[in-house]
Amino acid sequence: VVDLAVGGGDDLAATLIDHVVCQDLAEQILTRHANRLGAATLKLAHVARGHAATGLHNDLTPPDFDIKIEHVTPQHVVPAWDMKTLWVTNDLGDSLTPIDPRTGLPGPNVPVADPYNLYFPPDGRFAIVVAERLRRLDFRDPHTMALHDSVPVACRGVDHMDFTADGRRALASCEFSGHVIEIDVVAHRVTRSLRLDPHGGGPHSTPQDVRAAPDGEVFYVADMTAGGVHVIDPVAQGHRV
């Protein structure tokens, strides 16, 4: 993994801006699935609350519609690629909980190591479990969650990612080391790393959420330390902050 220096001349570039408003590719994909599955499937909105046995809360229905999931600490709620299942990531419980989006009922927990977050590439071939504590990305069967292979990452706090328009690459944030990494989704390997330094020698960056632009040409990375959003260009020359 190459750690790109400022002005290093490599082809992963970053620019820091104060504010960005954009529609991401995931929203476009969701709209297409919604049209296919029907509005009834999408009436429930599930929000993970990080307390064991508290589970999920549906903000669009009365409070007594809380979904109780025992022995988990939910982190994220992720729709499956085919939109037929909502997966709840329980990193401390080493499990994923499937929820039927039509009924809101949870199924049995599926044992999975350290699932802090979960993503599905645009082609739906794999599920990518972000194992933050274990410092790896696990490529799994998108239906059974059986492990296919693991990709180790050198940075600390890998947690969020998004994909290029063609789905062949992804950009993931590493919150605790102030990096973003590029993943070859086809070859299952980390190809490059970029350290974000919004203050030119000051406090290190803390990148979290990653979103692709509508055309998939650049990525937007939210940074709490910088108080802004990095624009990551995967093809431009140099590194600008």
Q: Is the pLDDT of residue 73 over 80?
A: no
Q: What is the dihedral of CA 161, 155, 147, 79, to 10 degrees?
A: -20
- Tens of pLDDT, residue by residue over 84-127, are 999 999 999 999 999 998 888 999 999 999 999 999 999 999 99
Residue indicated by tokens 């009922």: 105
Q: What is the pLDDT of residue 72?
A: 66
**57, 69 contact by CB (below 8 A):** no
- Tens of pLDDT, residue by residue over 120-132, are 999 999 999 999 9
Q: Is the pLDDT of residue 228 over 80?
A: yes
Q: What is the pLDDT of residue 183?
A: 96
Helix, strand, coil percent values for the chain (each to nearest 5): 10, 40, 55
Q: What is the pLDDT of residue 67?
A: 63
Q: In this predicted structure, which of 18-27, 87-96, 112-121, 207-216 has the lowest mean pLDDT?
A: 18-27
pTM above threshold 0.85: no
Of 5, 9, 14, whose CA–CA distance to 229 is shortest?
14
What's the mean pLDDT when you consider all of the chain?
Answer: 77
More confident residue, 74 or 184: 184
Q: Is the pLDDT of residue 168 over 50?
A: yes
More confident residue, 115 or 19: 115
Q: In this predicted structure, which of 57-66, 113-122, 174-183, 194-203 has the lowest mean pLDDT?
A: 57-66
Q: What is the pLDDT of residue 12?
A: 60
Tell me the average pLDDT across 28-33: 57
**194, 179 contact by CB (below 8 A):** yes
CA 89 → CA 112, 114, 229, distances in Å? 9, 9, 26
More confident residue, 204 or 86: 86
CB atoms near residue 136 (< 10 Å): 17
Q: What is the pLDDT of residue 181?
A: 95
